[in-house]
């Protein structure tokens, strides 16, 4: 697999994807059985994937991935999408983790204020159109943040939801490499890592919030429920839209629903 050319520009003329499914397949084979920390350290050191960034929600399980990244290279960019609907506890937790883990290249991206003024002036779009709300507050800002990246690292795990089963470590999304280092980790693996490395917990976790997103669309999870059951409760919605389906054709793991049109 050829190294990414930093001089290469992506514009209306050059639209060829940087990576292909064959690249993802080769990486999945190469790192099969290799622990996530070793894998990340090798990839960061080699620079073979070009410009790579981490997208973190700073949710209840985020500390594990961020700890692995910081151990491998604390200078890797860490992007946080502030939808302007976040829990105060999440914003505070972000600052805690940045300091504790020594992350030195963090950034925040927010929704376009003009789009918010035009499409969600009263801030209540979440209550009647959660897909549209996610589109303008999370999907579009993250798309802007990823423009300079050749690939990005996600914190998704297969056990989190039935819609995340069969999650590969490497996949292709819009010509970029997408890495899921914790895809095959279990909940117990995460718990063990938290304990072994004395990582701070999200302050809402002890209150029953097992998966934390925007405040209006996040609720506590009952015993025995899917860990993400508290997200968009009461809606036929399981993802915010920043993740493309890892099971092609299932139509329920991140892309907008069939027939849905972006609102901007």
Sign of dihedral through CA atoms 212, 218, 222, 228? negative
Q: What tens-digit pLDDT sequence spans the chain (264 residues)?
A: 444 444 333 343 344 468 999 999 999 999 999 999 999 999 999 999 999 999 999 999 999 999 999 999 999 999 999 999 999 999 999 999 999 999 999 999 999 999 999 999 999 999 999 899 999 999 999 999 999 899 999 998 877 555 445 789 999 998 999 999 998 898 899 999 999 999 999 999 999 888 899 998 998 888 877 777 767 776 665 555 454 443 333 323 333 333 333 332
- For residue 72, the surrounding DSSP H or E stretch is helix 62-72
* Candidate list 133, 214, 217, 240, residue with the active-site label: 240
Taking the C-alpha atoms of residue 53 and residue 30, their distance in angstroms, rounded to an integer, is 21
CATH number at 21-204: 3.40.50.620
DSSP 8-state class, residue 84: S
Taking the C-alpha atoms of residue 184 and residue 166, their distance in angstroms, rounded to an integer, is 9
Active-site residue, 134 included: no
Domain residue ranges of the chain, discontinuous segments joined by +: 21-204
Q: What is the model's pTM?
A: 0.81
């Amino acid at each position: 697999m050829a190294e990414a050319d930093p001089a290469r520009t992506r514009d209306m003329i050059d639209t060829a994807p940087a990576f292909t499914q064959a690249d993802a397949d080769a990486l999945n084979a190469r790192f099969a059985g290799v622990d996530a920390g070793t894998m990340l350290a090798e990839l960061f050191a080699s620079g073979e994937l070009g410009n790579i960034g981490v997208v973190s929600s700073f949710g209840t399980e985020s500390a594990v991935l961020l700890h692995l990244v910081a151990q491998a290279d604390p200078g890797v960019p860490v992007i946080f999408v502030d939808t302007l609907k976040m829990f105060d506890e999440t914003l505070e937790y972000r600052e805690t983790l940045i300091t504790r883990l020594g992350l030195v290249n963090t950034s925040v991206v927010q929704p376009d204020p003009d789009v918010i003024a035009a499409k969600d002036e009263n801030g209540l779009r979440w209550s009647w159109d959660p897909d549209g709300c996610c589109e303008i507050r999370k999907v579009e800002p993250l798309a802007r943040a990823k423009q300079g990246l050749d690939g990005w690292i996600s914190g998704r795990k297969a056990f989190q939801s039935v819609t995340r089963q069969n999650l590969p470590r490497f996949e292709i999304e819009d010509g970029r490499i997408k890495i899921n280092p914790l895809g095959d980790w279990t909940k117990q693996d995460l718990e063990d890592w938290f304990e072994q490395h004395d990582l701070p917990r999200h302050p809402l976790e002890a209150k029953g919030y097992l998966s934390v997103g925007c405040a209006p669309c996040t609720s506590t999870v009952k015993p025995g429920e899917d860990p993400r059951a508290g997200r968009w409760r009461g809606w036929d919605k399981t993802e915010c839209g920043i993740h493309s389906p890892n099971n092609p054709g299932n139509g329920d793991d991140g892309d907008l629903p069939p027939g849905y049109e972006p609102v901007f």
